[in-house]
Amino acid sequence: MNRQFYTSTILFLLDFTIKTFKIENGNFVIWDEAHFGKFAQRYANREFYFDVHPPLGKMMTAVSNVLFNMDREFKFESSEEYPTGTDYPSMRRFHAFISSFIPLLAYLTLINLQFTHFTSLITALLLVFENGMVSISRLILLDSHLLFFTALTTYFLTRYLSRKYLIKDQIINKNLKNICEIIETKPYIEQENEIKSNSSKNLSKNVKTGSNIDKEPKPDPSAIQDKPSNNQTYLNYNPIPTLLFLGLSIGCVLGVKWIGCLTTLYSGLPIIFILYKKLINKDYSLLNFTKKLTALSILLILTPISIYILFFILHFRILIYSGSDDSHMSSLFQSRLVNSEIGTVNKYINYGTVVTLKSSKNAGGNLHSHQHSYPDTPGNHYQITTYHHSDTNNNWAFQKVTDTPTNPRFLGHNDKIVLYHTETQQYLSVLQNRVTSSPLTTASIWTLEIVTDILGKEHNVKTLTTRFRLKNVESGCYLSSSNNNYPSWGYNQGEVVCTKKKDVTTLWNIESNPYKSNKEEHNKESNQESMQEHIKEGNDENLQLVNPEYREVRNLQTFFISHFLHLNTSMFLTNKSFTQEKDLEPVRLVSKPIEWFILRRGLRMTGWSTERPKFYMFGNPISWYLSNICVLIGPLILLIKTIKIKRNLKNRLDPTIRHNIARDYLCIYLFTGGWLLHYIPFFFVGRVLYFHHYFPALFFSILSTSYVLQHTRKISIFILFICILTFFLFSPLTYGIVNIENMKYFKWISTWDFT
């Protein structure tokens, strides 16, 4: 234990030193610091923002922002120089501090799996001297938090599996030692039958099943005092704390980035396998199986979900002020934010008043138009989209279509209307099954159908709370915000169509309808009491001059779960639609999953034409290619071992061999399986991808070197030496290139674009 403690401490300090060396280099906003530094500022200012990632990582970054007293007015614009006196190095050190636990956790994970101290240390040092891991851990990014919680989840998973099954397996196999002697004198069939019989008798004395999560009762101390320490460790082991911490770790990795879903699957598969083995074991009662299933469900399903939801509760509690990203949320949510533009609104919608319309579905945007045509519809037929930001192109005005002399002031049920776009000065129309902004025609006439109202349905449409549909009179279809986005010609904004289906995508509400006092609007003569009487009447004749402030909506109770689902839906849809901006050198930034494995190129994190230090995210080529080889040949080694054991009965019955092969299977799943689960899914992702998306998979591939090199002490030392040497050769990429010409000697592959 002392050796583990000292080794862990040294690993942490060494890694922290390497990651913080020259961390003040680059006194400007580097790469995605522009995003996550900005989000940290929003937390510090308590201003609402939208991002595609869950909030935990950004809240942790915000802690560093507050701790080191960053300038609250600094905007974190890309490549912007940090103000003099700003303690940006300490914010970076905070992230380096968190990520410095990764090699330590890798070391302890391998100890859990019964690797030697030497092998565990060598593997951890490969992580310490990995240039890519250092690059991504010394900036104000989320990946430090993501990799830390990935490593933490792996540690607790191996702690549970090793304590419950590897040590248990050792105890069981000790009972087989004497049994194995019979193979010299009895036929194989007889041997196996006798072994099964004797084994079950001996096992029943040492291992009792049927308790909650395999929690065995403590035996009489006098009965085990002379037994090996592993026996004592297993019998005294209570898995519940480990499983609880595993559940919390899963919740945290999910709370940083959704790639944590892959880590969740990685953790869940062996647990599912264990439950399956219990279920098909006829000696394991259904009652005990139910208890085990219930306990594991609470600890490994309910706990992560609860902790994930908790982060959003904190997120909403902190961000109470209106910000530029409000439109990603529902209209009612926005109205509750302090200083919101829609916090004070008129109750009803006057014809001719400029308003904004919002799709009422989760993640719906504002109805939007701009002076850009569809590719196949030239001329003055402009695009209709949904947009998630405040913009004058979101402004519309309802106009009444009527043949009667009466002219009602308020928008109501079954009114025939046209919708005028104030910026393009055209009308919402349906042209050849496409929704456009066009000159006024009969295709511009719509019927408004009120569907529901949160505060009670009336004849008139109410701001924020009334949901309605717009039916095109000529085509009979409904205005709909589909779940798709336009391609680049539509600026990747939300698609608007006209559909015959009456579903949630066809529901709309009025969002912005700024309050103007009745005195201002029409010199009302009636007092407040008579005004309320007229409102209750609910008809246009009595409502001729009355449009009060919508005060009832202020006291409307909104539910956290609806905001939670709305935000997560917006995150998913926005994440799915990510594309690379053309002015950001996509050739230098965007990459494909196949390129990560072969280290085809890294990622330029700064401009290459300036005199500033240049930073290039790039792996250590030796450890990168070594880990690739190990993660692939590990399963082949296991296959060869398995075949040899299957072909030799004596080996198959040897307790030590049985234990080792069980451990090998677990290691291959944890290393190669972890790599596959964190790598292969990216081949099926439609959104834009970057080099750093490979790093969780890289963590597992480096762990796989322990399995392949575990019996090669001298070779391991030599490889580590070469990796350390390579790390320092490529260190200018990590710590800041001053003279690019000096790096041309290290361009071993033509696609490496750091020169």
The mean pLDDT value for 363-374 works out to 93
Q: How far is CA 753 from CA 138, 607, 615, in A?
A: 22, 13, 12
Measured on CA atoms in the order 317, 320, 326, 332, is the torsion positive or negative?
Answer: positive
Total structural domains in the chain? 2
pLDDT: which is higher, 255 or 377: 255
The three-state secondary structure class of 399 is: strand
Q: Please, which pLDDT band fits residue 163 given cuts at 50, 70 and 90? A: confident
The three-state secondary structure class of 125 is: helix
**Exposure class string for 333-358: b at 16+ Cβ within 10 A, else e:** bbbbbeebbbbbbbbbbbbebbbbbb
Which residues, in sequence order, are CB contacts of 428 under 8 Å at separation 6+?
Answer: 367, 369, 384, 396, 418, 419, 421, 435, 437, 444, 446, 479
Residue 221 has pLDDT above 90, yes or no: no
Tally of CB atoms within 10 A around 371: 13
Distance (Å, whole) CA 343 – CA 327:
13
The three-state secondary structure class of 420 is: strand
Which residues, in sequence order, are CB contacts of 322 under 8 Å at separation 6+?
Answer: 47, 48, 334, 337, 338, 339, 340, 341, 343
Q: How far is CA 166 from CA 113, 196, 613, 665, in A?
A: 8, 20, 50, 11
What pLDDT is recorded for position 634? Answer: 96
Measured on CA atoms in the order 603, 609, 612, 613, is the torsion positive or negative?
Answer: positive
pTM here is 0.86
Q: Please, which pLDDT band fits residue 517 given cuts at 50, 70 and 90? A: low
Task: List the one residue out of 301, 415, 394 whose CA is nearest residue 342.
Answer: 394
Q: Any idea what DSSP says for residue 650?
A: H
Residue 698 belongs to what H/E stretch? Answer: helix 695-708
Write out pLDDT tens, residues 624-668.
999 999 999 999 999 999 998 888 766 666 777 888 888 999 999
The mean pLDDT value for 724-744 works out to 92
Inter-helix orientation angle 695-708/621-646, to 10°: 50
Distance (Å, whole) CA 716 – CA 714:
5
Write out pLDDT tens, residues 693-705.
999 999 999 999 9
Q: How far is CA 398 from CA 417, 470, 546, 547, in A?
A: 6, 12, 18, 16
Q: Which of 200-209, 432-441, 538-547 has the lowest mean pLDDT?
A: 200-209
What pLDDT is recorded for position 543? Answer: 44
Q: Record the tokens describing residue 38, joined without a space.
A: 């900005």
Residue 577 corresponds to which amino acid? S
Are 484 and 625 in a shared domain?
no
Are 724 and 644 in a shared domain?
yes
Residue 545 near residue 534, CB atoms below 8 Å: no
The mean pLDDT value for 242-251 works out to 97
Write out pLDDT tens, residues 568-620.
999 998 888 776 554 455 556 889 999 999 999 999 999 887 789 999 999 99
Q: Is residue 244 in some structural domain?
A: no
- Phi, psi torsion values for 358, nearest 5 degrees: -125, 140
Are 509 and 592 in a shared domain?
no
Residue 303 has pLDDT above 90, yes or no: yes
What pLDDT is recorded for position 237? Answer: 72
What pLDDT is recorded for position 533? Answer: 42
Q: Record the tokens describing residue 78, joined without a space.
A: 């890309």
What pLDDT is recorded for position 738? Answer: 85
Opening angle at CA 498, ends 494 and 504, nearest 5: 70
Are 602 and 495 in a shared domain?
no
Opening angle at CA 105, ends 595 and 680, nearest 5: 25
What pLDDT is recorded for position 177? Answer: 52
What pLDDT is recorded for position 687? Answer: 84
Q: What is the mean pLDDT of the chain?
A: 87
What pLDDT is recorded for position 213? Answer: 43
Distance (Å, whole) CA 332 – CA 453:
12
Residue 173 has pLDDT above 70, yes or no: no
Which residues, in sequence order, are CB contacts of 533 under 8 Å at separation 6+?
Answer: none
Q: How far is CA 323 from CA 378, 389, 390, in A?
A: 36, 10, 10
Are 491 and 600 in a shared domain?
no
pLDDT: which is higher, 209 or 585: 585
Residue 17 belongs to what H/E stretch? Answer: helix 2-20
- Phi, psi torsion values for 120, nearest 5 degrees: -65, -40
The mean pLDDT value for 116-130 works out to 97
Distance (Å, whole) CA 537 – CA 535:
5
What pLDDT is recorded for position 686? Answer: 82
Q: Is residue 51 in some structural domain?
A: yes
Are 352 and 229 in a shared domain?
no
Which residues, in sequence order, are CB contacts of 232 under 8 Å at separation 6+?
Answer: 224
Are 21 and 148 in a shared domain?
yes
Residue 558 corresponds to which amino acid? T
Q: Is residue 593 in some structural domain?
A: yes
Q: Record the tokens describing residue 167, joined without a space.
A: 């040590």
Are 207 and 74 in a shared domain?
yes
Place of tokens 């003055």: 380
Residue 245 near residue 234, CB atoms below 8 Å: no
Number of C-alpha atoms within 13 angstroms, CB side, residue 233? 16
What pLDDT is recorded for position 224? Answer: 34
Q: Is residue 45 in some structural domain?
A: yes
Are 200 and 80 in a shared domain?
yes
Distance (Å, whole) CA 138 – CA 165:
38
What pLDDT is recorded for position 121? Answer: 97
Q: Please, which pLDDT band fits residue 318 given cuts at 50, 70 and 90? A: very high
Task: List the one residue out of 706, 733, 677 whose CA is nearest residue 126.
Answer: 706
- Which range, 16-20, 228-232, 399-403, 569-573, is most confident? 16-20
Q: How far is CA 5 from CA 97, 105, 127, 230, in A?
A: 18, 12, 18, 20
Specify whether the backbone of 320 is left (phi greater than 0), alpha (psi in -120 to 50) or beta: alpha
**Exposure class string for 200-218: b at 16+ Cβ within 10 A, else e:** eebeeebeeeeeebbbbee
Distance (Å, whole) CA 297 – CA 247:
10
Distance (Å, whole) CA 704 – CA 671:
5
Task: List the one residue out of 61, 79, 78 whose CA is nearest residue 144.
Answer: 61
Are 619 and 510 in a shared domain?
no
Distance (Å, whole) CA 631 – CA 246:
24
Residue 448 near residue 468, CB atoms below 8 Å: yes
Q: Is residue 270 in some structural domain?
A: no
Are 645 and 508 in a shared domain?
no
SS3 content of the chain, % helix, strand, coil (to 5): 55, 15, 35
Q: Please, which pLDDT band fits residue 343 given cuts at 50, 70 and 90? A: confident
Q: How far is CA 296 from CA 164, 180, 270, 283, 646, in A?
A: 14, 36, 12, 20, 34
Distance (Å, whole) CA 493 – CA 514:
26
The mean pLDDT value for 472-483 works out to 94
Write out pLDDT tens, residues 255-291.
999 999 999 999 999 999 999 999 999 999 999 999 9
Distance (Å, whole) CA 126 – CA 700:
12
Which residues, in sequence order, are CB contacts of 412 under 8 Å at separation 6+?
Answer: 448, 450, 459, 460, 461, 540
What pLDDT is recorded for position 411? Answer: 95
Containing structural domain, residue 469:
342-515+550-554
Give the N- to C-terminal CA distance of the chain in Å, as an integer.
47
Are 505 and 598 in a shared domain?
no
Residue 306 has pLDDT above 70, yes or no: yes
Q: Is residue 14 in some structural domain?
A: yes
CATH of the domain at 432: 2.80.10.50
Q: Please, which pLDDT band fits residue 534 given cuts at 50, 70 and 90? A: very low
What pLDDT is recorded for position 216? Answer: 42
Q: Is residue 101 in some structural domain?
A: yes
Task: List the one residue out of 91, 100, 73, 87 whose CA is nearest residue 33.
Answer: 91
Return the biggest CA–CA distance within the chain.
113
Q: Is residue 622 in some structural domain?
A: yes
